[in-house]
Structure 1
Amino acid sequence: MTFVVPFDGSDLAEAALVRAVEYGAALDVAVTAVTVVPERTRYAREKSWIGRDENYDPGRVVESLRGRVETLAPEASFDFERIREFPPEAEIAEHIGALALEHDPAVVFLGSDNVGRVVTPLASVGVHVAAEDDYDVFIVRRPSPPRIDAVERHDAFYDA
């Protein structure tokens, strides 16, 4: 059993990773962060992985994301897939979902401020990942700490 976190380096993905580690420590469950990196510059700019005039090196982005995971959650593992195409969000979500399933997740911790709302954007990767029936989904909508006594806060993250 594993807690899996789709990780793109966004603030809410970071919060989801920290939350997964906190719950994982309380429940003795391993945590894996998964990333899908399309080899297209436009997507990298949309994710703020590179600046407007910066050249895109997918390998460097993978290592940067891996480093961020190691900083936030040294006990978590990191897995990634590089894909050549720049597919629609639903197809990126399929890649993320398939990568997550490789880790036999009990729960996917998803950082998203719009998944599960009455009105949901169709272009959200999170919407498609959350729709999967093979695992439960824990949605992290804000980086604030949990309010459960058994869960130990990672104060360094919350105080930053």
Structure 2
Amino acid sequence: MSYLVPFDDSPLSRTALRRAGEFGRVMDERVVALVVVPPSTDYAREKGWIDPGEPYDADRIERGLRAAAREIAPDAEVRVETTEETDYRASMTTDVVRRIRQVAGDLEASVLFIGTANAGSVVTPVASVGSPVSDDPQYDVHLVRHADEDLAD
């Protein structure tokens, strides 16, 4: 069993990773930070992984996210997954959610630590991975809705 944390280096995902690391130490559970990197310049810019005008470089993005995750939770395993070009019927978020669910199943994750301001809301934004991932009954979910001040942007 393991604790899985979808990690995109946002303040909420940083806090979720920190909490998973704390729980993992106490419960002696494996912690995996999952970074999903779609092949999209727009998505990378939206996440703040690259600056406007900067070219998309998946390897550089991966290195940066690995380093950020290790800084927060040095004992966590960092797993990087990519997605294919988005199917015209699916959104980038759908592809990311699909990959998170696949990895959760592969790892037999017991708890997902999700940093999102939107999961569980009555109205869920299309761009949120929190609600679709938290709906899966295969694992428990720990929602982080408020970022720790020292991990905020």
- TM normalised by structure 2 equals 0.90
Q: How many residues align?
A: 149
Counterpart of 2:19 in structure 1 is 19
Residue 46 of structure 1, CA deviation: 1.1
Structure 1 residue ranges (4+ consecutive) displaced by more than 2 angstroms after TM superposition:
157-160
The answer for the alignment partner of 1:73 in structure 2 is 73
Alignment of 1:2-151 (within 5 A): 2-86=2-86, 87-88=90-91, 89-144=93-148
Unpaired segments of 5 or more residues in structure 1?
Answer: 146-156
RMSD: 1.9
Q: Give 1:99 deviation, angstroms.
A: 1.7
Partner SS for 2:138: coil
Taking structure 1 as reference, are residues 36 and 158 closer, same or farther at Cα in structure 2, changes over 3 Å only? closer
2:124 counterpart letter in structure 1: T
Tell me the distance in 2 between the aligned counterparts of 1:159 and 1:55: 26
In 1, Cα distance between the equivalents of 2:84 and 2:60?
15
Report Cα offsets for 1:56-99 as digits up to 9, x if no partner.
10111011111111111110001111123135122320112112
CA distance in 1, matches of 2:55, 2:125: 30
Distance 1:17 1:27, change over 3 A: same
TM-score (norm 1): 0.86
Tell me how far apart the structure 2 counterparts of residues 127 and 158 of structure 1 sit (CA, whole Å): 23
CA distance in 1: counterparts of 2:36 and 2:107, whole angstroms: 15
In structure 2, stretches of 5+ residues that fail to align are none
- Residue 103 of structure 1 aligns with an amino acid whose one-letter code is L
1:78–1:16: structure 2 CA closer, same or farther, 3 Å change rule? same
